[in-house]
Amino acid sequence: MFLRLTALFLFSLFLSAPASAGDMTYNAEITVDVTAENASVAREKAMTAANRQAYTTVAKRVTTAEGVRRLNELNDAQILNFIKEVSIISEKASNVRYLATLNVAINERILKTYMQENDIPFVISSMANVLIIPTFREFKTDTPMLWEAGNLWRKAWEQNPRNLGSVKFFSIPANGSNYAALDAEKALSLNGAALDKIAFINNTKDIYVADAVYNGIEGLNIIIYSYRDGSEESISVQGDRSPQLFVNAINQISDHIYNKIKKQNVVDRQNKSEITVLYSYAYLKDWLMLEKQLKEIDYISKISTAAVGSGKVQFKIDYIGGFDKLQEALRNKYYNLKNAGDFYIIEKI
């Protein structure tokens, strides 16, 4: 039988109380280099510029492109209200110049409150491995290439993998398992059997086939096929035929997919739910670790402990958005929720 909350448990809560969820999300390392009539003015202008850069950097992590635009409508004096702390990593100054690298922390509570009051969408950052299958041909009438040495598009992806926030973009590795499972024809037809196998081999749910063709002598035309939802989108990238053209195309496509993922992760903050959870542990440190990891999940707004004892703890989770997103976030931390009727059991995977 559960014991009611005890002084021992209150002490454990004190020990385990972590910083607010997603601390690093609301911090930005900024470099500024400003010249003015004297060092004092240069430093003041640099700090103002650093505040806006940090504010914008954080905004890009937690909202959509439209949300960032709206947040940036605030003036410098208004942005100052969102600054929690500025730490100097390094600095140099002359009579007229100020150069520094700063860590700027944005006040999470104030930013979230402002966004909610002004109906600015809030995006939960979630980890994703996005697999790109780059097919290529010089002319539209050519046979598309995937593994061939002439596939400059795949080589560019191999040499320029990209991370945006918690999203990792990578090209399909040229190994035996992938060779055997897939060719250009199967990729472009979104062959289910082949791509399901590719998803399993490469540990990803997100697969995009990016079919690139030269656009005359200036640029690339690229069609992006999403295996998850079957969507098809066209993107044109301008530039001379050079390695930089492919790098620009990689940046443009990954930006596009990243913004698409962010839109999918917009949280309906009006959709609030509560579940009762039971957790069995061998050692108190196991519960303390679980509690810490739960508080790092942005979907979770509150954890309320009801009872603890005999190696078990019962608590309530208040969360926003859908249950599937909560479950996915937990699985990313190697925990799983099992429905037990009136409550859920949480277990280590």
pLDDT digits (tens, 9 = 90+) for 78-95: 999 999 999 999 999 999
Q: Which of 49-63, 113-127, 296-310 has the highest mean pLDDT?
A: 49-63
Domain that holds residue 149: 128-264
Report whether 6 contacts 35 (CB < 8 A): no
Domains of the chain: total: 3
- C-alpha–C-alpha distance, residues 195 and 201, integer Å: 10
Q: Is residue 31 part of a domain?
A: yes
Q: Is 27 helix (H, G, I), strand (E, B) or coil?
A: strand
Query: Phi first, then psi: what are they for 10, rounded to 5°?
Result: -60, -35
**What confidence score (pLDDT) does residue 270 get?**
62
Dump pLDDT digits (tens) for 167-214: 899 999 999 999 999 999 999 999 999 999 999 999 898 999 999 999
Q: Is 116 helix (H, G, I), strand (E, B) or coil?
A: helix
Q: Which of 264, 294, 317 is the last residue of a domain?
A: 264
**What confidence score (pLDDT) does residue 6 get?**
34
Dump pLDDT digits (tens) for 102-123: 999 999 889 988 998 898 988 8
Over residues 311-330, mean pLDDT? 87
**What confidence score (pLDDT) does residue 167 get?**
87
Q: Which of 264, 294, 313 is the last residue of a domain?
A: 264
Question: Do residue 119 and residue 207 come from a single domain?
Answer: no
The burial of 171, by beta-carbon neighbours within 10 Å (0-12 exposed, 13-18 middle, 19 or more buried), is given as: buried
